Amino acid sequence: MSSASQPSGLPPVVDNIEQTRALIAGWKQAGDKIIFVPTMGNLHAGHLALVEAANALGGKTVVSIFVNPLQFGKNEDLETYPRTFDEDISALSKYKVDLVFAPGVDVIYPEGGKSASIVDVPRLSAILDGEYRPDFFKGVATVVNKLFNIIQPDTAMFGEKDFQQLLVIRQMVKDLSMPIEIRSVATVREANGLAMSSRNHYLDDEQRHQAAVLYDCLEQVVKLVGEGEHPNYEVGRASQVLQAKGFRVDYVVVRRQQDLAVPEADDESLIVLAAVWLGSVRLIDNIPFEL
């Protein structure tokens, strides 16, 4: 798969660092900007919105497909995480994708799937999802750092669905003085409001229908907090509704958008975030809002 040429209409796929760097260096020399969309594959409309937004910026669009073992906990779904490479490449062929970087685990982690050096963004990684998935954001920050070093993009695109991840990456880029612009794209939802996610594949038809309650509850919090109700009261109520509808709730909180800290009375840019379980499937979602 190391070839950069593909049959007609399909984007070129490269699985090694040397060839990727050489192609990108050539584009940079020719004056092209590099716009990067990192993914773990199993592409859905949310990923494709990132690619579309990347295309709209001009320059060369580079997409990576890499299921990163470092961001999966011991009891998480690394083995069963959906891998749909051929479908992904075919979905990408509908866009202008100049390169798909699809390395194996041995390329990214030559020392047996591990990395001795870890990138940690401590405060942001320890709260909310970090409390439930202690190594997750270290795994994300480390692999995104590596991918940034390989691709050396001018701009990288991330979805707002993973809002905490987006802030971790922004903080990392700022703290480590990386010359990369981070752009975000709004969450793409199914018709019933369920946020697009690769893990939605694990839901059966009934659960998919039921999952829409999560977005309804978050919308209700936004509406009532906007009308002056206290956030703590509204997230408590949302949590009760979710439990009554069969969800197990990790958290439902209202936080400040800029740093996910508990809001002060005069904060106006807020976000409601939730993580819940439906059976064995963990769903996260959020809605940013202004008072």
Helices 231-244 and 205-226 meet at what angle, rounded to 10? 160
**Is residue 48 a contact residue for ligand PAF (CB under 6 A)?**
no
Residue 248, sorted as left (phi over 0), alpha (psi -120 to 50) or beta, turns out to be: beta
Asked if 44 is an active-site residue, the reply is no
Query: d(Cα 180, Cα 18) in Å, to the nearest integer?
Result: 21
DSSP 8-state assignment for residue 192: T
143 contacts 71 by C-beta, under 8 angstroms? yes
Number of residues that bind ligand PAF (CB under 6 A): 10
Q: Does residue 129 interact with ligand PAF by CB under 6 A?
A: no
Q: Is 167 an interacting residue with respect to ligand PAF (CB under 6 A)?
A: no
State yes or no: residue 143 binds ligand PAF (CB under 6 A).
Answer: yes
Helix (H/G/I), strand (E/B), else coil: 123: helix
Determine the Cα–Cα distance for residues 284 and 194; give it in Å rounded to an integer: 10
Cβ neighbours around 114 below 10 Å, total: 11
CA dist 259 and 224 (Å) reads: 22
Which of 68, 142, 171, 286 touches ligand PAF (CB under 6 A)? 68
| Beta carbon of residue 179, minimum distance to ligand PAF (angstroms, whole number) | 19
Q: Which of 100, 121, 144, 254 binds ligand PAF (CB under 6 A)?
A: 144
* Segment interacting with ligand PAF (CB under 6 A) among 7-15, 88-96, 100-108, 138-146: 138-146
Among the candidate windows 38-46, 171-179, 187-195, 263-271, which touches ligand PAF by CB under 6 A?
38-46
**Residue 161: strand pairing partners:** none
Q: Which is nearer to ligand PAF, 129 or 162 (CB)?
A: 162
Interface residue with ligand PAF among 4, 17, 40, 166 (CB under 6 A) is 40
| Binding positions for ligand PAF, rule: CB under 6 A | 38-40, 68, 71, 140, 143-144, 162, 165
* Catalytically annotated residues: 47
